[in-house]
Amino acid sequence: MEQQLQAGLAALGLPTEGVPSLLRYGHLLMETNKVMNLTAITDPADIAALHFLDSAALLTLEDFRDKTVVDVGTGAGFPGLPLKILEPTIHLTLLDSLGKRVQFLERVCQELGLADVACIHGRAEEFAAAHRESFDLAVSRAVAALPVLCELCLPLVRPGGKFLAMKSVDSDQELESARHAIEILGGAVSGVRDYAIPGTEVRHRLILVKKVKKTPEKYPRMFAKIKKNPL
Ligand code: SAM
């Protein structure tokens, strides 16, 4: 895994000082995954590529330096924790609705000595009540279809900030179906960037949504409503 991460980060043009922390994180992930459902990806090479390098690629597409970032539905910490390890100036909030995963994240932060990371057990649509429009960036991967995801994430982003949705390269239709939601929630698509995960044939997509105006107060709605009747 070490050589793969060194080569992959170098191919992305990113510094490699974070590799020892990523290796420690990978070890904790694999060990804990034996007793707790954290990830379906278990092969070390796949963890390096599909979790670490996939997350790291975002640093080549957006400036994260000194930004407040919330990772919505972070699960075992993706993409938020690799971003923080590789760009330590990030002020990070990891948010997930599953308490056991949040406990795992707290342990990783403690063992890696990561400062300025808030690990929050909660639902995005409820978290928004107290943290509305307070982040420079929201990021999210593999949580919900884009129309739903926008309602969970865009209310958390300050006007002028961005929501970054990690999607597959086959997400054209999904993006079309989210255009209405993005507009209502105060966003505007500012970029669609496909990227390759180094050392693999895998290509993924980052959809960048700029927050151009405030989100109307009535959003986000309760999750049952969001799901039943997406914008
Ligand atoms: N982002 C991680 C990744 O790509 O590996 C985890 C993806 S996992 C498939 C989806 C995660 O989103 C789960 O850990 C789940 O608990 C969380 N989640 C789903 N809905 C949520 C919500 N409304 N608020 C916060 N977390 C949520």
* pLDDT means over runs of 10, the chain (231 residues): 97 97 98 96 97 98 98 98 98 98 98 97 96 98 97 98 98 97 98 97 98 97 94 94
Q: Is 142 in the pocket of ligand 1 (CB under 6 A)?
A: yes
Output the six-digit token pair for 70: 């919330």
Q: Is 96 in the pocket of ligand 1 (CB under 6 A)?
A: yes
The residue type found at 167 is K
pLDDT computed for residue 186 by the predictor: 98
Closest CA to 146 of 95, 81, 208: 208
Whether pTM > 0.95 for this model: the answer is: yes
Q: What is the distance in A from the centroid of ligand 1 to the CA of 95?
A: 8
Q: Is 205 in the pocket of ligand 1 (CB under 6 A)?
A: no
Distance CA 42, CA 107 (A): 19
Q: What is the distance in A from the centroid of ligand 1 to the CA of 76?
A: 9
Contact of 193 with 208, CB cutoff 8 Å: yes
